[in-house]
Amino acid sequence: MTTLVEHARQVLPLGLTGRIDRVVGLTAAVVGFPAPLGSRCTIDRDHGLPIEADVVGFRGDETLLMPLGELTGVRRGARVRLVESVPCVNVGAGLLGRIIGSRGEFLDEGPKPLLAHRADLHGKPPGPLERPRIAKIWQTGVRAIDGLLTLGEGQRMGIFAGSGVGKSTLLGQIARHSSADINVVALIGERGREVREFLDRDLGPEGLKRSVVIVATGDEPAILRLRAAWMATAIAEHFRDLGQHVVLMMDSVTRFALAQREIGLAAGEPPATRGYPPSVFALLPRLLERSGCSPAGSITGLYTVLVDGDDTNEPISDSVRGILDGHIVLSRKLAQQGQFPAIDVLQSISRSMNDITTTEHRQWALTVRQLLSSYQQNEDLISIGAYQNGSNALIDSAIQARPQILGYLGQKPQEQTTFPESLSMLERLARLKDLLARKPAPT
């Protein structure tokens, strides 16, 4: 975070200009314009206002620009002017409760606040030895997560699901009921219709009061969708450096990767894995590593991943899962059965849970997992009536405890369960196994 005066000392002289040499596809090549990568500039055109563009690469003596709008009216020789060499965003307490676009404009009807500081969009993450260990439980208000996939403040978690399985609804529920000080929500590549639905239905007025929402819809240029992710991370870092516990929710990382694929291919990068250029896999850790704990505060990251055809092993899913500190998998099968949240507990894991929970809590969670696993492995036999009661004590307990477990995992979006309540319910489920084991199996 820097003041406006300090930021002014970092930028190049704004008198730098160049000329359009050619336009190829989505990019414009400029000669005589040695601006650094990531700079913001404007392109003059014969009619209408200048077009904003970002520097995305170099080829020979040319600087490649990707415009933030249509290139209609731009001709060969049109002048290009440098606007900003260090991409930043204005930050401050006035952002709370506001909805902003990826250009920094306010999309709601409120007045423009006074923001005295600027944050670098491409700030550096805390050093590995500067990060405190995750030691404090973060309460989400969702008992399936708090009880069986307990998260810590500063943890980075992925939510993996196909389209229409309930990712946005789950994020809104957590934003309303979690123990975080501030929510920073980035909606990247969403449909325009879904933005209003998320704000009104999922986030609600109570969630918006302590949130900053950054929006870049799917019809906006790829460079703006990319910028929205960097902007949300920079805003979260600003509040973290003030000592706050921030939750950064990004929906979705997949559309961030798709935007970078579009930019990389337009700039001439070769496709590497399933059409994704190498820059995609280089940018993902740069984005995801910026959340976490710091000496001042913490950023707990929740990143949704839109899996292709419900395949959680496709390239982006596989890469993101290897970077984050755990993953929550939403099952389409469970969603079709009417369970919300449709969390597949057996496919999900929190890598920080063992460090922040008690021995009793971990044992209760293990017992419930064993019951879920036992039922799942024998579900076909149970469904067709081929399983004989009394053949296996664990399976008998899993069958009898099934309704109570499903009741624990299911939770209405408007319902909030405190962490002590979740823990108490989990304990009763775990003890139910021992009680059922003492009873003779029904014949």
Mean pLDDT for the chain? 89
Residues 309 and 427 in one domain: no
The CATH number linked to 243 is 3.40.50.12240
Residue 2 has a pLDDT of: 53
Q: Does some domain include residue 8?
A: no
Residue 192 has a pLDDT of: 80
Residues 308 and 252 in one domain: yes
Q: Does some domain include residue 2?
A: no
Q: Does some domain include residue 443?
A: no
Residues 121 and 144 in one domain: yes
Residue 201 has a pLDDT of: 86
What is the number of domains present in the chain? 3
Show which of 330, 354, 378 is a domain's final residue: 354
Show which of 58, 85, 112 is a domain's final residue: 85
Residues 414 and 276 in one domain: no
User: Does the pLDDT at position 197 exceed 80?
Assistant: yes
Over residues 350-372, mean pLDDT: 95
Residues 285 and 341 in one domain: yes
Residues 80 and 142 in one domain: no
Q: Does some domain include residue 302?
A: yes
Residues 341 and 198 in one domain: yes
Show which of 314, 331, 354 is a domain's final residue: 354
Q: Does some domain include residue 153?
A: yes
Residue 310 has a pLDDT of: 65
Lowest pLDDT segment from 3-12, 228-237, 242-251, 313-322: 3-12
Residues 420 and 337 in one domain: no
Instruction: Please answer whether residues 342 and 165 qualify as being in contact, where contact means their C-beta atoms are separated by less than 8 angstroms.
Output: yes
User: Does the pLDDT at position 25 exceed 90?
Assistant: no
Residue 52 has a pLDDT of: 92
pLDDT band of residue 15 (cuts 50, 70, 90) is confident
Q: Which domain holds residue 55?
A: 15-85
Token pair for 402: 């099934």
Tell me which residue of 50, 94, 87, 55 sits closest to 69, measured CA to CA.
50
Residues 95 and 138 in one domain: yes
Q: Does some domain include residue 364?
A: yes
Q: Does some domain include residue 376?
A: yes
Residues 131 and 262 in one domain: yes
Residues 65 and 132 in one domain: no
Query: Per residue in 134-144, pLDDT tens?
Result: 999 999 999 99
Q: Does some domain include residue 60?
A: yes
The CATH number linked to 59 is 2.40.10.170
Residues 221 and 95 in one domain: yes
The CATH number linked to 391 is 1.20.1270.330
Over residues 73-79, mean pLDDT: 91
